[in-house]
Amino acid sequence: MFLKSLSGRFLLLTIVFVMLAEILIFVPSVARFRVDYLQERLERSQIASLTLLATPNDMIEPELEAELLENAGVLNIVLRRDSIRELILASPMPSTIGESYDLRDPGALALIRDAFATMVADEDRVIRVLGQPVKGAGLMIEVALEEAPLRDALWDYGRRILVLSAVISAFTACLLFLAVRAFMVRPIERLIRQIKKYEEAPEDARRIIQPKATVTEIFEAETALHSMETQLSQSLRQKERLAALGGAVSKISHDLRNILTTTQLLADRMEHSDDPRVQKSAPKLLNSLSRAVNLCESTLAFGKAEEAAPSLRSVSMQQMFDDVVEAETLALTNGAVEIVAADVGDIEMQVDEDQIFRVVSNLVRNARQVLAAGKGGQITLQGSQEADGWTITVRDNGPGLPPKALEHIFKPFEGNVRKGGTGLGLAISAELVGGHGGKLKLVDNSDQGAAFQMWLPK
């Protein structure tokens, strides 16, 4: 997982690139080390050969000759002073010359090739090296030496360089890792945390990011995010207000439409009055009411808003039933529909009278409209008191609810049970009953009728 992160990948790439750079440095360094090694042997050999100048006939004792060669680290030395004179120090050769190398004018690629050839050689050869004497002390110097010590020195130098390269790579990678963490990864992680925090509550303006990054690109990203979150929060608040307003208007329009419909029916009866003034004003009143009903119909496309908390007080169940029956009977245009309230005695309920009246009226009105569209029938209001609450049932003997309506019966704009309905009536009723801590449910539905029952706790 670490290598999948930005920090992990940057750390890995840093180590790889630094090691690659060290390798590019290592190759010429090894070649340079080999040249210096051989050049040092040539200089020592030149100094050793000059001792012959202090002896008569250029001759020295064998013991001194062996000591000079050992100090120089070579097997023999040939120093050409001029075109005819040579100074020679020699010792027994363990084998013939295996390879010759000229250091007087070497090429870079040749030096690199020769260095790695020495490192990978698997035999102890004797090599010959030609060089230029220092300070013009001769025309040429030539030495023979064993290759094994040179190979060992090269491998030792290579190991030390590799270890040093690894240490430098690790140290550099750590510094770059910390720098990237401080200047890039942490600001990005802060952006991610802020986005997640804002996602939890986009309406909370305190969660909008405040740009404060020191890196220009990260600061620009934070500024753009700040602008986007600000606009989004404002848009969400505006939509919430519009949704709340639309829901409130929808509910008001739903109930106001029913009130205006009843008033429209009463105004319609006024047309048959013998009073000339009433006959004259009745059409205008009907037109105004029709426009008001149409306006209510057009506002029902808005969303659902929360109802106010119920204001509880003592209410007579029987009186409420009678008021509902009286109001809904006035709206009857089909004599085949009858609304009856059962005798529930002196039951007193602690409820919000207006809200529960709206619920019972909605249930009765839905049943009335279904029965009026068919062959008619009877609607019965029943109620009872229990130890923990009150039960009110609205029952009809109509055709029942279609199966499709049962899927979303209490959802706004989805639970309409008749053509042209909005589905708000039952949704509003369920919400009002729920606000009392009660429940509204369909307890019976068949081709013999339907029954809705609400339970209100004490």
Q: Tens digit of pLDDT for each residue in 341-352?
A: 999 999 999 999
Distance CA 300, CA 323 (A): 26
Asked whether the beta carbons of 222 and 211 are under 8 A apart, the reply is: yes
On the question of pLDDT at 139 being above 70, the answer is yes
Q: Is residue 438 part of a domain?
A: yes
Give per-residue burial for 59-96: e unless 16+ CB within 10 Å, then b: ebeeeebeebbeebbbbbbbbbbeeeebbebebeeeee
Most confident of 166-175, 189-198, 375-384: 375-384
**What is the mean predicted confidence (pLDDT) over 93-117?**
86
C-alpha closest to that of 160 among 30, 73, 40, 32: 30
pLDDT digits (tens, 9 = 90+) for 225-277: 888 888 887 777 777 666 666 666 666 666 666 666 666 666 666 666 667 77
Q: Is 32 a domain residue?
A: yes
State whether 165 and 238 are in the same domain: no
- Residue 280 inside a domain? The answer is no
From 126, 147, 174, give the residue that closes a domain.
Answer: 174
Q: Is residue 418 part of a domain?
A: yes
Mean confidence (pLDDT) of the chain: 80
What tens digit of pLDDT does each residue of 389-425 get?
999 999 999 888 888 777 778 776 555 555 545 566 7
Report yes or no on 331 lying in a domain. Answer: yes
Better-scored residue on pLDDT, 374 or 112: 112
Q: Are residues 56 and 116 in the same domain?
A: yes
Q: 223 and 144 in one domain?
A: no
Q: Are residues 43 and 116 in the same domain?
A: yes
CB hemisphere CA count around 221 (13 angstroms): 15
Residue 366 lies in a domain: yes
Q: Is there a single domain that holds both residue 351 and residue 453? A: yes
**What does the longest C-alpha to C-alpha distance in the chain come to?**
167
The pLDDT confidence band at residue 304, using thresholds 50, 70 and 90, is very low
**Burial degree of 112 (CB within 10 A; 0-12, 13-18, 19+):** middle
- pLDDT, average across residues 318-339: 85
Does 166 map to a domain? yes
pLDDT digits (tens, 9 = 90+) for 350-385: 999 988 998 999 899 888 888 888 788 999 999 999
Residue-wise pLDDT for 25-75, tens only, equals 788 888 999 999 999 999 888 888 877 777 766 677 888 888 888 888 898
Read off φ and ψ for residue 212, nearest 5 degrees. Answer: -155, 15
Residue 110: strand, helix, or coil = helix
Using alpha carbons, select from 331, 310, 177, 316 the residue that is nearest to residue 260.
331
Cα–chain center distance at 302 = 33
Alpha carbons 221 and 241: distance in angstroms, whole number: 30
Same-domain status, 333 and 450: yes
pLDDT for position 51: 77
Greater confidence (100 vs 181) lies with 100
Question: What pLDDT is stored for residue 378 in this prediction?
Answer: 92
Residue 301 has pLDDT above 50, yes or no: no
Return d(Cα 200, Cα 229) in angstroms, integer: 13
Which of 128, 148, 174 corresponds to the end of one domain?
174
Q: Is the pLDDT of residue 173 over 80?
A: no
Angle at 450 between CA 252 and CA 312, to 5 degrees: 45
* Separation of alpha carbons 191 and 198, rounded Å: 10
Asked if residue 99 is part of any domain, the answer here is yes
Higher pLDDT, 381 or 191: 381
| 117 and 217 in a common domain | no
Question: How many structural domains are present in the chain?
Answer: 3
Q: What is the DSSP string of 36-88?
A: HHHHHHHHHHHHHHHGGGGSGGG---HHHHHHHHHHHT-SEEEEE-SSS-EEE
Cβ within 8 Å of residue 402, ≥6 positions away? 417
The range of the structural domain enclosing residue 128 comes to 2-174
**Same structural domain for residues 220 and 168?**
no
Question: Is the pLDDT at 14 greater than 50, yes or no?
Answer: yes
CB 183 within 8 A of CB 67: no
Checking DSSP bridges between strand 97-102 and strand 126-131, what pairing results, if any? parallel
Q: Is residue 7 located within the same domain as residue 54?
A: yes
As given in the structure block, the two tokens for residue 403 are 């199966």
- Torsion of Cα atoms, 55 then 60 then 66 then 71, to 10°: -10
Claim to verify: residue 319 and residue 434 sit in the same structural domain = yes
Say which amino acid occupies 84: I
Crossing angle, helix 108-120 and helix 147-180, to 10 degrees?
110
The model's pTM:
0.42
Q: Do residues 92 and 166 share a domain?
A: yes
- 233 and 159 inside one domain: no
Q: In what order do the strands lie in the sheet with 140-146?
A: 86-90, 76-80, 140-146, 126-131, 97-102
Domain boundary, last residue among 226, 242, 258: 242
Q: Which CATH number is 349's domain given?
A: 3.30.565.10
Give the pLDDT band of residue 339 (cuts 50, 70, 90).
very high
